[in-house]
């Protein structure tokens, strides 16, 4: 039963945080909640730290880096914190004083250490710490609603010691994300106060937003557990954009989606099943304007209210078979499927691997996904040409920490080793550790196809190049004419490596993939192609609600066309794409 008055707004706390993966509807729900609180006479400040923030678009007015009253909603003001601008200012604060004093190579290394997602998260948190902890700035507001909350990753960073130990100086240490911590210039008691407020259930409620999809719910459960471990226990689950029951004579795709969502609701992961939850129905169009925001949190209108006029579909959409036809022309190569969590990387990687194996190519399919989604996707698929493996991030990280302690830590005193040990708890340590395992797979791509689900980001590659010295030392010692090829050089070789970015046909996932493409460009890597997954525009649905949503994908597909050298679009499927039959629905077989 849909709630007409969402439970997460009942007895609302002063701080309300909305978090979840890109494209689940955090911004719409945050804006709607802020409007709902203001309409009952509360004074509300809406704060967005979303890198693809569209708060201004939602309200139809300019909202920038200054607190701005929202027209037509008494008592509501908003501010958008630009994460990239915050990160740039943060970097300059650290690098500016030493520019001209240190060699260019040192400046470049420091800049790259401060160019990853860790820096962006910490810089954004640095920006809104005042809004969270300083009552002299926000005391006039009854409620502060945050669109995109700090993740457990960010909070663990801020709980680290903050000492920039000497073992990292001049590239002597190993890569971690402690770089961002070097510039934390606020008193640590200020951060402690902010984190204490986040963890105080009397002050803060965190709203975890997800879709009723297996992969999205697995991701949400992981986030819920991570936040609980850092003390944020007052959580509420919102399952957004649920498809209303189309009835037994409804469009087959709509019936299948409704049944699949119902099955997900009946089998929620334990971490989510324990949370209070609210269900929100899908709307036929983007949530724009105060009127739409008012309606979002009320009982869903009857399906008959959805427009029966089907919008024109986008122009011809290429399928995955076009990409595979080009890949199969070679007899070896490295294929990296990259993208944010929940976009279907495992499915796309498995479909490509199975298609190549069925063409008689020798294929090694591997994953670094901690959820081991490949097992579910392959569902026992067997092929003599297909080898499947998994890099265990936890085991790789443990081995990496032990090695660093045994080598870099050997020359440190007890206090230094203690700091090093805690520094190695940094979340980015896992990314670096996994790369060590990943690099062993890269060399196999010279003899066969290697398809990897989840690959290192451009930031990780450059951080390793800057501080690990492996790439530079080999090139310097052996010389460029010796024919040596390091892992980074192989990843930069378009004849060997094909990076495939996977996204969804929605604003935030496309923006996140665009940011990832820019990140890879810094490492000299250009994505070979893009895959837009779970597209309604690529289906033949006649359901009015789904057809309206399909039409809304057009601007996002056009944006991907501008960014992508090659594009494939995978339709939203009626049946889960698992096993050989399911994967064949992702990549159509030749007739």
Catalytic residues: 23, 25-28, 50, 508
94 within 8 A of 103, measured Cβ to Cβ? no
- As a whole number of angstroms, the distance between CA 569 and CA 572 comes to 10
- Measured at the alpha carbon of residue 211, what is the angle toward residues 198 and 221, in degrees to the nearest 5? 50
Cβ-based neighbour number of residue 182 at 10 Å? 16
Pairing outcome for strands 143-147 and 333-338: unpaired
H or E stretch covering 471: helix 470-478
- The single residue listed with the structure tokens 């003899």 is 447
- As a whole number of angstroms, the distance between CA 449 and CA 352 comes to 10
- As a whole number of angstroms, the distance between CA 24 and CA 425 comes to 30
- Closest by CA to 24, choosing from 52, 44, 62, is 52
Collect all residues with Cβ–Cβ distance below 8 Å to 223 and sequence separation of at least 6: 19, 20, 151, 152, 208
- Closest by CA to 379, choosing from 588, 570, 583, is 583
- As a whole number of angstroms, the distance between CA 443 and CA 342 comes to 28
3-class SS of residue 589: coil
Instruction: Transcribe 392-460 into DSSP letters.
Output: -HHHHHHHHHHHHHHHGGGGS-HHHHHHHHHHTTSTHHHHHHHHHHHHHHHHHTTTSEEEEES---HHH
Q: What is the signed CA dihedral for 278, 291, 46, 222, rounded to 10 degrees?
A: 30
- As a whole number of angstroms, the distance between CA 225 and CA 271 comes to 7
386, β-bridge pairs = 363
Collect all residues with Cβ–Cβ distance below 8 Å to 583 and sequence separation of at least 6: 347, 350, 351, 354, 355, 377, 381, 577
Largest distance between two CA atoms of the chain? 73
- The single residue listed with the structure tokens 């910490």 is 122
Q: Give rounded-to-5 percent helix, strand, coil for the chain.
A: 50, 15, 35
Instruction: Transcribe 351-385 into DSSP letters.
Output: HHHHHHHHTT--EEEEE--TT-HHHHHHTT---TT
């Amino acid at each position: 039963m849909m709630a007409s008055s969402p439970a997460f707004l009942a007895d609302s706390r002063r701080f309300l945080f909305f978090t979840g993966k890109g494209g689940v509807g955090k911004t719409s729900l945050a804006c709607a909640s802020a409007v709902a609180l203001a309409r009952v006479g509360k004074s509300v400040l809406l704060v967005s730290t979303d890198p693809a923030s569209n708060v201004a678009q939602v309200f139809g007015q300019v909202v920038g880096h200054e607190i701005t009253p929202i027209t037509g909603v008494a008592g509501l003001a908003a501010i958008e914190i630009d994460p990239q601008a915050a990160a740039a200012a943060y970097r300059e604060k650290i690098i500016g004083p030493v520019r001209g004093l240190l060699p260019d190579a040192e400046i470049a290394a420091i800049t790259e250490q401060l160019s990853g997602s860790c820096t962006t998260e910490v810089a954004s948190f640095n920006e809104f710490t005042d809004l969270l902890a300083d009552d002299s700035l926000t005391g006039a507001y009854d409620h502060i609603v945050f669109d995109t909350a700090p993740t457990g990753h960010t909070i663990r960073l801020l709980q680290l010691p903050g000492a920039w130990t000497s073992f990292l100086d001049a590239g002597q240490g190993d890569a971690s994300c402690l770089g961002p911590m070097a510039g934390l210039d606020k008193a640590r008691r200020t951060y402690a106060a902010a984190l204490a407020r986040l963890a105080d259930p009397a002050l803060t409620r965190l709203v975890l937003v997800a879709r009723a999809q297996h992969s999205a719910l697995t991701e949400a459960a992981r986030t819920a557990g991570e936040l609980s471990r850092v003390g944020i226990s007052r959580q509420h689950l919102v399952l957004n954009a649920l498809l209303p029951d189309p009835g037994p004579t409804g469009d087959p795709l709509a019936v299948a989606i409704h049944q699949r969502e119902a099955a997900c609701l009946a089998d929620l992961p334990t971490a989510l099943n324990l949370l209070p939850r609210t269900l929100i129905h899908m709307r036929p169009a983007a949530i724009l304007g105060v009127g739409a925001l008012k309606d979002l949190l009320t009982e869903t209108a009857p399906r008959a209210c959805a427009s029966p006029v089907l919008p024109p579909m986008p122009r011809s959409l290429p399928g995955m078979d076009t990409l595979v036809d080009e890949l199969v022309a070679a007899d070896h190569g490295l294929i990296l499927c990259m993208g944010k969590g929940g976009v279907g990387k495992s499915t796309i990687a498995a479909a490509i691997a199975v298609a190549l194996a069925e063409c008689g190519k020798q294929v090694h399919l591997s994953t670094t996904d901690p959820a081991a989604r490949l097992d579910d996707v392959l569902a026992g698929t067997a092929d003599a040409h297909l080898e499947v493996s998994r890099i265990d991030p936890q085991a790789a990280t443990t081995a990496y920490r032990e090695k660093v302690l045994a080598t870099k830590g050997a020359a440190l005193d007890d206090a230094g080793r203690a700091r090093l040990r805690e520094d190695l708890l940094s979340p980015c340590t896992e990314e670096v550790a996994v790369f060590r395992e990943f690099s062993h797979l890269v060399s196999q791509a010279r003899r066969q196809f290697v398809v990897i689900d989840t690959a290192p980001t451009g930031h990780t590659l450059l951080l390793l190049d800057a501080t690990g010295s492996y790439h530079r030392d080999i090139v310097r010692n052996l010389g460029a004419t010796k024919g040596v090829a390091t892992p980074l050089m192989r990843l930069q070789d378009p004849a060997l490596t094909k990076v495939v970015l996977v996204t969804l046909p929605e604003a935030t996932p496309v923006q996140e993939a665009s940011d990832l493409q820019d990140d890879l460009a810094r490492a000299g890597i250009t994505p070979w192609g893009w895959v837009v997954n779970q597209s309604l525009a690529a289906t033949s649905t006649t359901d009015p609600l789904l057809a309206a949503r399909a039409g809304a994908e057009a601007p996002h597909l056009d944006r991907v066309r501008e960014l992508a050298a090659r594009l494939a679009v995978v339709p939203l499927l009626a049946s889960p794409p698992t096993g050989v039959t399911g994967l064949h629905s992702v990549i159509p077989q030749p007739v």
